Amino acid sequence: MNCGKCDEEMADGMVEVHGTIGGFLLFGWSLQHLFWYASDRVSRKATMVVGSGRARDAWACRECGLITINAGGEASKGTRGSF
């Protein structure tokens, strides 16, 4: 897949949302989600992209840093695992 910003080849991988051990020790256990908002924020409607503890397939451009996420379902590669 080529980058939509700079047209360089993108590396495949995944994104996932999870807490950290440091966050747990400082703040306790909590759910975390990744949301997408329209840039105009007029509607203030949030779309959940990745739920807590879930993963999605993603591609990263090492040239410009753009990350593209497939928000359509669970990651096909599985997850990294938990701590």
pLDDT at 23: 61
Buried-state track 48-72, b at ≥16 Cβ within 10 A, e below 16: ebbeeebbbbbbbbeeeeeebeeee
Q: What is the pLDDT of residue 68?
A: 94
> If the chain, 83 residues long, is cut into consecutive pieces of 10 residues, what is the mean pLDDT of each piece?
96 81 66 80 78 88 95 72 38
Cα 21 from Cα 14, distance rounded (Å):
21
Say what the pLDDT of residue 8 is.
96
Model pLDDT, residue 45: 82
Specify the pLDDT at position 47: 84
